[in-house]
Each structure stands twice: as C-alpha cells, then as structure tokens.
Structure 1
C-alpha cells in the first residue's frame, strides 16, 4: 500500500465508517450508530444527511432504521431481494400516505401467511392507527392482503399455500377446509381486482371479529415483477368512517398507481 504524506479527510472517514457499518449490520438506528462508532449524535446526523442526500443510504418508514442503498451494492439488486423491495417501495408508500392520509402496509408471502416488511403508518395523518409492526403475520385467507396475493399468484404457488393451510391446526385457517368457498372468494377477488377482508375478520390471525375487532377495514392490491406477484400493498382505515365501496371509489386508483410505480421501479433496476 502506498504511503501518502498528507492528512486524511476526517469527515470523509467518518462517512465511510458509518456506511461500512450499515453494510455489515443491514440496518441501524441513530443510537445504534452512536454506540458502534462512538461519534456524537450531532455529528452522525450530519453524516447521515450527507449520505442520504447522495443516495448512499435511506431510512425505513416503519421504524426509522437507516439502511445502505442497494444502488451502490457490489452486485445488481434483484427483485426478490426484500430489502431492495422495501427501499424501492418506501418513498412511494410515503407519497401515497400524503395523498390519502390513511396508512398502508407492504407485505410479502411466507409459507402459509403474509408478513409485513414495511408500513407508512408513522407518517400517516392517522398515525394513531398502528399497522405492522415489521414481521407481523397476516392471515392469508381472511385478510385483504392475503386474498390479493392468493388470487393473483401463480397456480402452483396458490395450490402449495392452500395445501399448507388445509393441514394447519391454527383456527384462523379454517376457510382452507372449504375448497369451494375458497375458489369462489379468489375468483371474486380476481374479478374485482383487489382484495377485501372477510366479514368475520377483525385483524387477529385466529380470532373472529366478534372475539377481536380492530375497528378497521382494508383493501389490497398486488405488486407485480413481470408476471410474478412479489408483494401486496394495502390501504387501511377506520370502518366507522367509510365503507369499502366509498374507499374504493375515492382511493383505489391511487393505491393501484402506487403498486404500478413500485413494479416499474423494480423492473427498471432488473434490466
């Protein structure tokens, strides 16, 4: 290594130290960075603002965690990389929230349920409606989000999910034992173009609305990457404020536009 007879740039070194830590840790709060680097939080705030302005890092909506941008990763981002999906979707979800005020989640499929990987709830005008948190399990057959995924995913994937649900012991998956009802509700979802909750779903994975009622309702639209559904975005509101029909008329176009924008950005990075 060549030796330079000059001083290094301390400010640049600090920025690279923060960036290196975020690459290694995948995500960190301001306090995490303070503990890891020993830098004062005021200094870290300036470093973060600089890195974010250059597109080197970004901040997750759900919990405010900072993450290294995939734009500068050593390999091209992939549409099946969930951190990349969140990075692409977060600013779009924030703009959606500004337009409609009500909060949304971004969820992806797991073996037998959907999982929340991002939410704009903290930025919502109605921030008292907490959605998520990250990692929250969403019922596949009774939620708007799960129905939107199952209705539009590939046939082989759909049958694999339904098979897992049919053998499940969880009370919330009871619908899987009624194949004709499932086929009907999924066909209705495809014809409608978006998912809605079942009447007995109050937000709890297993309990009925009579047992647990979050007082909300939702609609959900899939996010496509080419011909594959990779995620779902929903829109949630207090059910006493508006009916599903009213929210569809008022905000479905904006929700659908947001999912299309996420899809376009995903595919533009893939090419």
Structure 2
C-alpha cells in the first residue's frame, strides 16, 4: 500500500486488534481479551458491542465467550458446530423468554453427543447448574442422542452403531440389541421427537439407579440438506412436570425453535459439505 500522510484511527486500530485476537483464539472471555490486548474492559465492551451490531462477533450463552462470526467466512466445515451455535443461540434465547425450562443444543461426535450451548442461565426456575460447553452426552440414553440416531441417514446410523457395539461398558448395551434399536428408531420417527431411555439419569456411563439428575427431556433434530447437524432438547425436573404434560405444553415451542434454526441456516447457506 502506498504511504499516506495521515494519522491512523486509534479506536479503529483497537477494534481490529480485538478481532484479530478472536480470529486467532476462536473464543475468549472479556478478561481473556483484556489480558491479550491490554485494552481496558469498558473500552473492550464498547468495541465488542459495536462489532456485534455489525455482525462481526457474537457471544455464546453457555460460558459468555465472544467468538468471531462464522457467517462472514466463505465456507463452513461440516464438522465445526460453532456455525450452528451462532445460528441457534439467539433462538434458544428467545425460547427461554417463553418457557421456564432450559434447552441445550448438542452435535454428534462419532459415538457421543457434545453440548455446545444452553440457555439454562436465562431460565428462572431451573436451579440445576447448566451443562458446560463440551459436555459429553451418552448417545443411546439421552433424548438428544436418540433424536440424532432416529433421524440421521441410514448409512450414518449403521456406522455409529458399529462403533458403539465395540464398547463393552453397560452404557452401550443397547447397541448390541438390533431389535431394540430398531423399535427405538421407529417409535421416535413416528412421534417426531425423542425421549430419554428409561434408565438414563444424565450420567454418560452409569444408569439412573446410580446417578439421577432428576430431569426428563425431549429432543428434536436440526436437519440441513438432509443431514442431522445437531439436536435441540427441552429438559425439566420430573417432580415438577410429567412427560405427557411437558409434551402437551411445550412440544410446539420446541418444534418452532428447531424449524427457525433450520430456516436461518439454509438462508445463510450453511451446513454444506
């Protein structure tokens, strides 16, 4: 670039510095950015809010981290769930304004589901701690895992089951029973949503008789271009609400949220391999 006899814009330089750091580290808290840039936190907050208003950054609910917007990138990798979270996060925020119970979005990772975002911190009546980012969820027992298995393409289902059959822990016993898996898949497809396995209490490996988080859940798949790119659940305390009552009251809210995420993903041209 040719030399210009002009002064640089310090505020713009600080903003670009913040964006550069986010591009390098992918996700950072306000304190992380303060340490990396030396910019005071009030100034950082103004920079981040301005960048957010222009679609350059977004903030994840599950841990408050700031991330660069994936919608600015030319191509998305299909195994990178952050683009899905960026699309889904505001939808979960809207859902939390209507319902008292939290939701989680998770994505399939070979033989387990990984939670990437939750609106739990915004649900007033949920006294249980939110699932942390990166929490591993049992594929066969959780509502989210069962939603994925029931609605993913058949070839993908067979590949996942083949991996699960290699595991000898009791938590994967269902994978050895082809008839039981088929019944679960058919029932879930017919219903249009999934529920937890009867003996699933929230722990990845141990049954409800050993570990029980006191919750029940339903989940639905997020499908883009024929693929299940993730699942969104709704979870609540069993003592407060029965499964039939929760379905009657809140299934349409969950379905609307899933459809909104799918529509926004298609409009943004995301999810392509």
- Aligned partner of 1:187 in structure 2 is 186
Unaligned runs of 5+ in 1: none
Counterparts of 2:78 and 2:245, CA distance in 1: 33
Instruction: Please report how far the alpha carbon of residue 192 of structure 1 lies from its aligned counterpart in structure 2 after TM superposition.
Output: 0.8
Assess if the C-alpha contact under 8 Å between 2:100 and 2:126 holds in 1. Answer: no
Residue 127 of structure 1, CA deviation: 4.4
Verify the 8 A CA contact 2:92 2:103 in the aligned structure 1: yes
Deviations 1:188-231 (A, max 9, x none): 11111101011111101111111111000000000010211111
Residues 123-172 of structure 1, C-alpha deviations (whole Å, 9 max, x = no match): 22134222321111111111111111100101011111111111102221
* Alpha-carbon separation, structure 1, partners of 2:205 and 2:125: 26
Structure 1 runs (4+) deviating above 3 angstroms are: 76-81
The equivalences for 1:197-216 within 5 A come to 197-216=196-215
Partner of 1:42: 42
Tell me the residue number matched to 1:144: 143
Matches within 5 A, 1:78-227: 80-227=79-226
Total equivalences in the alignment = 270
Instruction: Find the counterpart in structure 1 of residue 24 from structure 2.
Output: 24
TM-score scaled by length of structure 1: 0.96
In structure 2, the partner of 1:59 is 59
SS in 2 for 1:270: coil
Deviates more, 1:80-89 or 1:243-252: 80-89
Shift of residue 81 of structure 1? 3.5
Which residue in 2 is equivalent to 1:262? Answer: 261
Q: Any unmatched runs of 5+ in structure 2?
A: none
Give yes or no for contact 1:79–1:85 (8 Å, CA) kept in 2.
Answer: no
Distance 2:18 2:149 in 1: 40
1:5 — aligned with what?
5
Contact 1:101 1:125 in 2 (8 A): yes
Per-residue CA shift, 1:61-110, capped at 9, x if unaligned?
Answer: 1000001112323x244665311111101000111111112111111111
Post-superposition CA distance 1:217-255 (Å, at most 9, x none): 000000010211111000000000111110111010010
Sort the Cα spacing of 1:78 and 1:160 in 2 relative to 1 into closer, same or farther, 3 A.
closer
RMSD: 1.4
